[in-house]
């Protein structure tokens, strides 16, 4: 969606976002210049065009303060993951969760937890786990993994030492020592009451 932008362009976008949140409307080109110490209005206009081309800003022609920020895409909820016996995690998004950039924690997608095998780690049935796509993790990290048949997704604690295993945080469940493949690391948790 967006190409690389400079640090200055990111600061301009952040200032526009903060102004809209604080005042309810975007800053003028001159206000952007004053705030970021850019003396030439045409230089500010150039950076705004770059942000628009990158898909990070929408402009309304020659209208003063005619700028809006595109709505964040949010993280897709891709299905369910088991905290118990394996459950198939669908790859079709069942919705999106919009999170402030500080709360995204590098996540690529969200899975809804089904089961009670991770209650000892504070992960309950119905929780949404934020997952970053990666095919490896450190010993002791909580991961999303596919079991040997490649169809069942589980959320477990990874044990690398000794015999690799996926460990539950509930004594009612045995470790999974059959072949598995890590497909993501849990980087956050969302819960509704």
Rounded CA-CA distance 108/116 in Å is: 24
Decide if 156 is catalytic: yes
| pTM of the complete model | 0.62
Same domain, 17 and 50: yes
Q: What is the 3-state secondary structure (H, E, C) of 89-129?
A: CCCCCCCEECCCHHHHCCCCEEEEEECCCCHHHCCCCCCEE
Residues 109 and 63 in one domain: no
**pLDDT of res. 88:** 46
Lowest mean pLDDT among 66-70, 71-75, 126-130: 71-75
- Give the tokens for residue 135: 């095919």
Co-location of 115 and 146 in the same domain: yes
* Catalytic residue (one of 117, 161, 168, 192): 117
pLDDT, tens only, 75-115: 778 777 777 655 445 555 677 787 776 787 888 889 999 99
CA pair distance 140, 159, nearest whole angstrom: 6
Q: Is residue 180 part of a domain?
A: yes
Domain tally, the chain: 2
Q: Give the pLDDT confidence score for residue 150 in this predicted structure.
A: 63
Residue 39 has pLDDT above 50, yes or no: yes
The domain that holds 20 is classified in CATH as 1.10.10.10
Range of the domain at 42: 7-68
Asked if pLDDT for residue 151 goes beyond 80, the answer is no
Name the band, by pLDDT with cuts 50, 70 and 90, for residue 154.
very high
Domain shared by 16 and 53, yes or no: yes
Beta bridge partners of 160: none
Percent of the chain scored above 70 by pLDDT? 90
Q: Let me know whether 20 and 112 are in one domain.
A: no
175 and 118 in a common domain: yes
Residues 177 and 84 in one domain: yes
Please identify which of the residues 23, 42, 138, 156 carries the catalytic annotation: 156
Asked whether residue 2 is domain-assigned, the answer is no
């Amino acid at each position: 969606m967006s190409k690389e932008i400079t640090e200055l362009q990111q600061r301009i976008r952040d200032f526009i976002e903060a102004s809209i949140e604080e005042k309810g409307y975007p800053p003028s080109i001159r206000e952007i210049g004053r705030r970021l110490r850019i003396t030439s209005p045409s230089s500010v206009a150039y950076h705004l065009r770059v942000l628009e081309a990158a898909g990070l800003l929408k402009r309304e022609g020659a209208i003063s303060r005619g700028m809006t920020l595109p709505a964040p895409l949010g993280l897709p909820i891709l299905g369910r993951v088991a905290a118990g016996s394996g459950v198939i995690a669908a790859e079709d998004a069942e919705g999106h969760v919009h999170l402030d950039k500080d709360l995204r924690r590098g996540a690529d997608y969200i899975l809804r937890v089904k089961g009670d095998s991770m209650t000892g780690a504070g992960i309950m049935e119905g929780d949404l786990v934020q997952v970053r796509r990666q095919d490896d993790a450190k010993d002791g990290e909580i991961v999303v993994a596919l079991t040997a048949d490649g169809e069942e997704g589980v959320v477990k604690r990874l044990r690398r030492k000794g015999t690799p295993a996926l460990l539950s945080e509930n004594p009612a469940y045995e470790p999974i020592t059959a072949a598995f493949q890590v497909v993501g690391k849990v980087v956050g948790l969302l819960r509704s009451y």
